[in-house]
Structure 1
C-alpha cells in the first residue's frame, strides 16, 4: 500500500510540473502493458491475417497501444507459406514483418518445423510414398533457409522446432522423426543457424508444467548445446486452464530452463471452458445436453468465473514478475476473445474468454491490476 501511495504522489508531482500539450500529457500518463513491463520483459501478441492487414481499427489500436512484440499466428506455418514444393506464398508473411518494422516491434517467426499444419507434399514423392532421409533433409533445409534468408536482419527470433516431445518425455514420432530419425531436431537448428547466424533460435512446446516433459526438453536442448548447436532459448506455451496446472510446477520449469538460456512464455491464454469427455454418449438428447454443458457461457461469463479468470491472470503475471530476470518475453495467443482459437477447439462453436481483452477490445479488469502490480514492483 505504501508503494502505491508513493506512486500516486509521484504522479501528482508530475502533474504540477511545466504544462504540456494534451497529446504529450496523454502519452505520458496513460499506462499500457508495454509501458508497465518496459523494464521487465517484452509483451507480445499473436497476429492473424485480419490484424496484419489492419482490417479492424479497434483491434489495431489495442495492438499498437499495448504490445511491443508480435508473432505470426498462422501465416508462417508451412502449409500457408510453402503450399507447393517449388512455390512460396510470401504476401501475408511479408505484410506481417512490415507491420512489425513500421511500428518498431520485436518480430518473432513461428514456426519453421512442426508436425502439424504441414502441406501435403512435404513428406511424400510424386507417387505418394515417403521420401528418404536425404530428400527430407534437403526439403527441411530449403524450407528453413528460404524463409530465414528472406527475413534476415528483420526477424529477431524463430520458433525453429515446435512440439517435438510427448508428455511422457519421449520424442514425438512425427513424419520428421520417422523419415530423418531422432536427430531431426538437431538438423533443423543447424540449418537455422546457417541461414541467419544473428537470429535467436528457440525450441517451443506445450504442457511445460509437466515435469517429466520439461525435464526431457531440458535434456534435449542441453545435449544440443553441448554439441555446439545454437539454441538460444525455450518457449513455454501458456495454454492454461483457469484452475490448472499448478503455477508452482510452471515456476519449476522457468527456473530449470533459465539455466540453458532465455525463457519465454509463449501462446498465453486461459480457458474457462471444461475439457470434453471423449466417452460422451452419441444419443441425441444426451448430446444436446452435453453440448450445453460444454458451452456454459454462451452469453457471457458468470461473475464468479470472471473473477476467477482475473485472479488467475494476476497470479500468472505476479509469477512472471517474480522471475523477470529469467523471462525475456511474454506473448498472448491473440488480441481479444472474438478471434481466439479457443472458441472452436476442441469443439466447434463454443464461446470462450481466454484473453486479456473482451470481444469489443475493452480490457478485462485484470489488465489494470496486472499493470499496477508491474509498476509497483
Structure 2
C-alpha cells in the first residue's frame, strides 16, 4: 500500500491525534498527492460541483476539493431550468456563489450550459411560436452569459445538439429556430461574453459518425465568422471499453480545425448498461442483475478500472500540448450521477476517489504516470 494511503489505516486514537494537531481537512491535503499539482504543467484538472460543495457545507470536503482541483463545472445550477425558472425570472443565487467559490479558492469556472434541449424551464412546454422561442433563446444567452463575462473562464454554449449519426437532434430549438440555432447561439454568446471562451460540448463525439457531425458543426460556425474556441468531449465511457483509438483520432481532427480540446465530464461506468453514451432521457429497468456491487467493487473490476484510467491519462499526456483540461464528473463515487442513472439507487464506482475521498487504485495508477 502506498505511503499516502497509510494515514487511513491508523487506529482511531492515532487518527484523532493527527486531526487534532493538523488544521481541519489538511490530513487529506498532506497525505494524498494532488492531481492539480501533479499535472500542473500538462493540463487543468477539474471536477463537477453540487450545491452542498458550492455552499461549503463540509469544510473537509472543501479542503479536499481545493487540494485536488483547479477547475470546476457546476452540475446543475447554471442549466436553464434553475437559473431561468420563469419567463421574466432569473435566479442567480447559486451561480453567484459558484463564481465566488472559484475566486476564493483560485479555481477556474466553466459555465454549463447556455443552450441544452434537456432541463429546460417548465414554461417552455407551453410555447408554440418560433418568435417566443427565439425571444427566450436570445434573452437567456444575453442575460446569463453577459452577467458572468470575465467571471468564468468558459461557457459550454451549446450542449448535445447532435444525434449518434451526426445529424442534428430534434430539439425544441431545431424545431422552431432551424439548424442555424447553434451558430446563432455562439454569435450571441460572443457578443454577450467577449472575455469568455466558448465551447461546444457533447458525448460520444469521439465516435466517427458523431465526430463527423461535430466537425461539420464547427466548420459551419467558423464559416459564418463566429467565434468558437473549443470542443468538449464529455468522456462518459464504460469499463473495459474505453475507445482509445477513436479518442486519439478525435483529438487530432478537432485540433486541425483550430479549436481547443478538453475532456469535460469524465467518468468510467462499471455497472451493467445496454447502451453507450449519456443521453439523460434513456432509462433501464431495475432487476437483480442491475446493481451487482452494492457493498464493494470486486478487485478484478477495480483493477480494470485502474488500467483504463492509466491508459486514458497516458493518452492525455501524449497529447498534453493539445488537451487543455480534464474534468471529472464528480468529486468522488458518492457524488456521481451514475448512482441514479439510468437506474435510480445503484451503487456506482466510476471515479478516482471512493465515497470517503480515499484514493482508489485508479488514482495511484494515474499519479504514477508522472513519477
Given the two structures, how large is their TM-score scaled by the length of structure 2?
0.87
Secondary structure of 1:121's aligned partner: helix
Aligned 1:158-197 pairs, distance under 5 A: 158-197=155-194
Q: How many residues align?
A: 337
Q: Distance in 2 between matches of 1:28 and 1:358?
A: 18
Q: Distance in 2 between matches of 1:300 and 1:182?
A: 46
Q: Distance in 2 between matches of 1:27 and 1:185?
A: 42
Match of residue 141 from structure 1: 138
C-alpha displacement at 1:137, in angstroms? 1.9
Q: 2:261 aligns with which of 260, 263, 280?
A: 263
Q: 2:249 aligns with which of 239, 248, 252?
A: 252
Secondary structure of 2:120's aligned partner: coil
Match of residue 313 from structure 1: 309
Match of residue 329 from structure 1: 325
Secondary structure of 2:256's aligned partner: coil
Bigger Rg over Cα: 1
Q: 1:272 aligns with which of 270, 273, 290?
A: 270
C-alpha displacement at 1:220, in angstroms? 1.0
Match of residue 34 from structure 1: 36
C-alpha displacement at 1:276, in angstroms? 4.5
C-alpha displacement at 1:148, in angstroms? 1.6
Tell whether the 8 Å contact from 2:29 to 2:67 is kept in structure 1 after alignment.
no
C-alpha displacement at 1:27, in angstroms? 8.5
Q: Distance in 1 between matches of 2:81 and 2:204?
A: 24
Secondary structure of 2:123's aligned partner: coil
Q: Distance in 1 between matches of 2:35 and 2:253?
A: 27
Match of residue 367 from structure 1: 363
Match of residue 335 from structure 2: 339
C-alpha displacement at 1:122, in angstroms? 2.8
Match of residue 7 from structure 1: none
Q: Deviations over 1:61-83 (max 9, x none)?
A: 22100100011110000001100
Aligned Cα RMSD in Å?
2.0
Q: Distance in 1 between matches of 2:39 and 2:30?
A: 15
Q: Distance in 2 between matches of 1:123 and 1:348?
A: 25
Q: Distance in 2 between matches of 1:29 and 1:346?
A: 35
Match of residue 99 from structure 1: 101
Q: Distance in 2 between matches of 1:207 and 1:40?
A: 24
Q: Distance in 2 between matches of 1:144 and 1:268?
A: 26
Tell whether the 8 Å contact from 2:86 to 2:123 is kept in structure 1 after alignment.
yes
Moved more, 170-179 or 148-157: 148-157
C-alpha displacement at 1:160, in angstroms? 0.2
Given the two structures, how large is their TM-score scaled by the length of structure 1?
0.86
Q: Distance in 1 between matches of 2:368 and 2:306?
A: 14
Tell whether the 8 Å contact from 2:234 to 2:265 is kept in structure 1 after alignment.
yes
Report the CA distance shift for 1:178/1:367 in structure 2 as closer, same or farther (over 3 A): same
Match of residue 71 from structure 1: 73
Q: Deviations over 1:44-103 (max 9, x none)?
A: 000010110112233222210010001111000000110001110111111111100111
Match of residue 62 from structure 1: 64
Q: Distance in 2 between matches of 1:27 and 1:53?
A: 20
Secondary structure of 1:321's aligned partner: helix
Report the CA distance shift for 1:75/1:301 in structure 2 as closer, same or farther (over 3 A): same
Q: Distance in 2 between matches of 1:146 and 1:221?
A: 24
C-alpha displacement at 1:365, in angstroms? 2.0
C-alpha displacement at 1:31, in angstroms? 3.3
